[in-house]
Amino acid sequence: MSKFSSVWVLIVIFMISWTNGIGYYSLKRLGEFNVNREFITMSGVSSGGTFAQQMFVAHSTLISGISVFSHTFYRCGPGNGILRDYDAACTTAGRRHFWSKTYSPKKAIKDIRTYFKKGLIDDPHYMGGKHLYVFAGTKNHLFTVDQSLKILEVFKPFIADSSVIKTRIAKANLTLPNKGKELPACSAPPDKFGVSNCGFSGALESLQFMLGHDAVRSSKGHPKLQPLIQFDQTEFFENVGRHDMDTVGYLYVPKVCKHNEIPCLLHFYFHGCSTGREFVGPGHVVRSGFLEVAEANGIIVVFPQAISSRENNIGCWDTFGVTGPLYATQQGGQVAVVKKMLDRILTKRFPKPILLNEGKTWVGKVLTSFPFIK
C-alpha cells in the first residue's frame, strides 16, 4: 500500500466510526437544511417527553405537534430545582407527599397563562389544533397511567380539538416502544438503553399521527441507513446561563435530504434519564426506531443531548428547575439552547424545487415519493 493510500485509510477511519452497525461521523457543525417549516415536530421519552412539552409551550408558533412517551405533564412539581421534591410530587414515589396534594394540571394551566402575560412564552392560542400523541404504560414503575394522562388536562383547553389528540395505553414499563426480538419485553424492566419490544414502533406511530399516514409510511424491509452525525452543541451555549447540556449532540440526515434539493421534514427527539450520550453513547438513538422511519420518509432528526450534574445525577432533562426558576419558558437554559439549534437549521431560505418531467427525473421521483413536499 502506498503512503498516500495509508493516509487516506487513516482519514476515513477517523471520519467514520461504527456502533451496532450504524456509522457515525466525527464532530461536525450543525448546518442549515431545506425543511418544510409548516411541519416541525418534537418528541421525547421520560424526562425528554416533558421537555418536548416545554419546547411546545415556549415556542408554539414554530412547532406543529409533539409526542410524549412514558412521562407526566408540563410544570408538574414545585419547580425548586430539587429532584427529590419533583419525584415526590410527580411520580409514584410521592403519593402521600405534600406536593402531590397541592400541585395539579390546573396550576400548570395557570402557569402557562401567567408566562404568556409576562412575555416568557408564545401566545398559547398557537397550540390550537396542533397534534398531541401520548403513550402511557400500565406497568410503568415510576408513573401511573393517571399521572401520564394528566398531560391531557393541561393541553386540551389550548388544543381545543380532540381529533388531533391520541393516547396509546399499553402493558409497558417506563420505556420507548419499538419492535424487535433483541429488545427487552415491553412490560419488563427496561435495560440501560430504555427501548423495549412493545410490538410496534412508537417512532412510526407517533410521526404518522402528527404528520399523516400519507406523509409517513412504514419502510419496506430494512432501509440502508446513513451515518449518524455527531455535532458540536457548545456553539449554542453563548449568552445562555446554566444549561446542563452535553458538548455533543446527534443528527440524522436521510440520503434524500443531504443536498438540500428538496424540503424535508424536521423532527427533534429528546432522550430520557440515564439514556443520553453520557451514559449509553448513541445506544438509545440507534435502538429508538427513529432512524429507520427518518430514512424511509425524508425526515431530518436532531437528537440534542443533556448531561448529569450534582443535583441531577441521572442526566434527566430539566423538568424541575435545576437550571433556574424559568426553566419551562423561553428563558430556560435548555429551551434556549435547543431553540438556537432550530434557528440554525432554519437560517437559510431555500427556493422551492421546480418539478420538471415528474416521475422521470431524480427530483421528480423524490417529490412523488414524499407527498409532504409542497
pLDDT of residue 93: 81
CA distance 231 to 63: 22
**Sign of the CA dihedral running 152, 156, 158, 163:** positive
CA distance 326 to 308: 19
Residue predicted with more confidence, 104 or 257: 257
pLDDT of residue 77: 92
Q: What are phi and psi of 133, to 5 degrees?
A: -115, 130
Q: What are phi and psi of 261, to 5 degrees?
A: -80, -20
Q: What is the mean pLDDT of residues 284-302?
A: 98
> What is the 8-class DSSP label of residue 94?
G
* Whether the Cβ atoms of residue 87 and residue 94 lie closer than 8 Å to each other: yes
pLDDT band for 13, please (50, 70, 90 cuts): very low
Residue 365 has pLDDT above 50, yes or no: no
Render pLDDT for 53-99 as a digit per residue (tens, 0 to 9).
Answer: 999 999 999 999 999 999 999 999 999 999 999 998 999 887 545 54
Boundaries of every domain in the chain: 13-369
CA distance 261 to 71: 38
Q: What is the mean pLDDT of residues 304-311?
A: 97
pLDDT band for 305, please (50, 70, 90 cuts): very high
Percent of the chain with pLDDT over 90: 79
Number of other CB atoms surrounding residue 304 within 10 Å: 29
> Taking all residues of the chain, what is their mean pLDDT, rounded to a whole number?
89
Q: What angle do CA 19, 228, 309 make, to 5 degrees?
A: 80
Nearest CA to 29 out of 219, 233, 176, 216 is that of: 233
Q: What is the residue-wise DSSP string for 184-244?
A: PBTTSPP-TT-EEE-SS-HHHHHHHHHH-TTTS---SS-PPPPPEEEEE-GGG-TT-----
User: What is the pTM assigned to this prediction?
Assistant: 0.90
Render pLDDT for 190-206 as a digit per residue (tens, 0 to 9).
Answer: 999 999 999 999 999 99
Nearest CA to 34 out of 291, 360, 366 is that of: 366
Residue 374 has pLDDT above 80, yes or no: no
Which of 101-115, 241-255, 351-365 has maximum average pLDDT? Answer: 241-255
pLDDT of residue 349: 87
